C-alpha cells in the first residue's frame, strides 16, 4: 500500500474528491455493463422464452419450476431463466388460451401443472415456422460478427 503524506487538510480534501470521482466513474462503467447484460437477457426473455416454454410444454405437462430446470438443462446451463419470468408468462399464455394450468391435487394445491391446449399446439407450430428463418439469420450474423472479432 502506498504511503501518502497529507500535510494539510486541502491535500486530503483534494485526494478525497479525486477518489470520489474515480468511484463514480467506475460505478457508471459497472452500470453500463449491467444494462448491456440486461439487454442481452431481454432478447432471450422476450423473444425466445415464450416459444421455448411452448416447446417444453409440447413434450408434456409440467410446472413452472420444471420448465426453468428443463431450459437450463437443455441449454447446458448457458440460459437459466428465473421462475420469476416463467410464472407470469404462464399466466399470460393461460389467459390467451394457449395453455391450461391444473392443480396436481385440487384439495392441497401444491403445484400447478401446465399443458398446451389444442389452440396452443397450433400456435406453437405457427410461431415455430415464423421464427425459424429469423433464428437462422441471427445465427449467420453471429457467426460473421464472431469471425470478424475473434478469428
pLDDT tens figures, 71-115: 999 999 988 888 888 999 999 999 999 999 998 877 777 889 999
More confident residue, 7 or 53: 53
- ∠ CA 71-76-80, nearest 5°, is 45
Partners of 113 in the beta sheet? 102
Q: Is the pTM of this model over 0.75?
A: no
- ∠ CA 96-100-113, nearest 5°, is 140
Domain ranges of the chain: 50-146
Is residue 38 pLDDT above 70, yes or no?
A: no
Pick the CATH number of 50-146 from 3.30.70.270, 2.40.128.50, 3.40.50.2000, 1.10.10.10: 1.10.10.10
Is residue 13 pLDDT above 60, yes or no?
A: yes
Helices (H) and strands (E) in the chain, counts: 5, 2
- Averaged pLDDT for residues 117-146: 91
- What is the structure's pLDDT at 133? 87
Amino acid at each position: 500500500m502506498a504511503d501518502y503524506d497529507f500535510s494539510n487538510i486541502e491535500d486530503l480534501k483534494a485526494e478525497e474528491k479525486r477518489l470520489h470521482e474515480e468511484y463514480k466513474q467506475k460505478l457508471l462503467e459497472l452500470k453500463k455493463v449491467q444494462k448491456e447484460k440486461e439487454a442481452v437477457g431481454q432478447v432471450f426473455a422476450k423473444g425466445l422464452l415464450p416459444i421455448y416454454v411452448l416447446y417444453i410444454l409440447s413434450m408434456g405437462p409440467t410446472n413452472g419450476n420444471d420448465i426453468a430446470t428443463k431450459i437450463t438443462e437443455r441449454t447446458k446451463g448457458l440460459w437459466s431463466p428465473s421462475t420469476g419470468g416463467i410464472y407470469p408468462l404462464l399466466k399470460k399464455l393461460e389467459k390467451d388460451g394457449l395453455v391450461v394450468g391444473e392443480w396436481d391435487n385440487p384439495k392441497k394445491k401444491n403445484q400447478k401443472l401446465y399443458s398446451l391446449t389444442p389452440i396452443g399446439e397450433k400456435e406453437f407450430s405457427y410461431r415455430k415456422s415464423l421464427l425459424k428463418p429469423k433464428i437462422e439469420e441471427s445465427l449467420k450474423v453471429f457467426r460473421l460478427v464472431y469471425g470478424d472479432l475473434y478469428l
